[in-house]
Amino acid sequence: MPENEPWEYTLYIPNDVRAVTVARRTLRLILTMHGLIRLTDTAELLGAELVSNAVRHTKGPAALRVRWSAGVLRIGAWDADPEPPEPPGELGLLGEAEEGRLALVKACADLWGWQPLARHGNRGKYVWCELAAA
């Protein structure tokens, strides 16, 4: 598949802290297989932060979504909690705190955001970030 053709993967995960490692390794494999190795380290970090938030702060299932389109990689995590994520703080003030993971996402991604989701009576949110290939 040429690098410029769009693609998308979704990995559904249980509410289990081991899911973060599964998501990281799956994301690395996807990017390697699509020839996007140059984005792998940053994407893996961002994906792990998003999935970690979904698993740590909600009680239900979650999902990792990875999409490539027009030279932009979008990584997102869905969870069943419709409440907005905590706004990111300043990265330098967090030190090694377990909270404030979105500050790392904000600092490393080209763009990030979140949106509430409702489909077939299910509610939740989708927190995403983007990395440009160039």
User: Within a 10 A sphere around the Cβ of 53, how many other Cβ atoms?
Assistant: 21
Q: How confident is the model at residue 93 (pLDDT cuts 50, 70, 90)?
A: low
By the 10 Å C-beta count (0-12 exposed, 13-18 middle, 19+ buried), 70 is classed as exposed
126 within 8 A of 117, measured Cβ to Cβ: yes
Quick one: average pLDDT of 64-86? 93
Question: From start to end of the chain, where are the E strands?
Answer: 7-13, 62-69, 72-79, 111-119, 122-132
User: Within a 10 A sphere around the Cβ of 128, how many other Cβ atoms?
Assistant: 20
Residues 20-58: pLDDT tens digits? 999 999 999 999 999 999 999 999 999 999 999 999 888
CA atoms within 13 A on the CB side of 22: 14
Using the predicted structure, report yes or no on whether residue 122 has a pLDDT greater than 80.
Answer: no
Angle in degrees, CA 32, 105, 125, rounded to 5: 95
The pLDDT value recorded for residue 120 is 73
Spatial distance between the Cα atoms of 33 and 15, rounded to a whole number of angstroms = 27
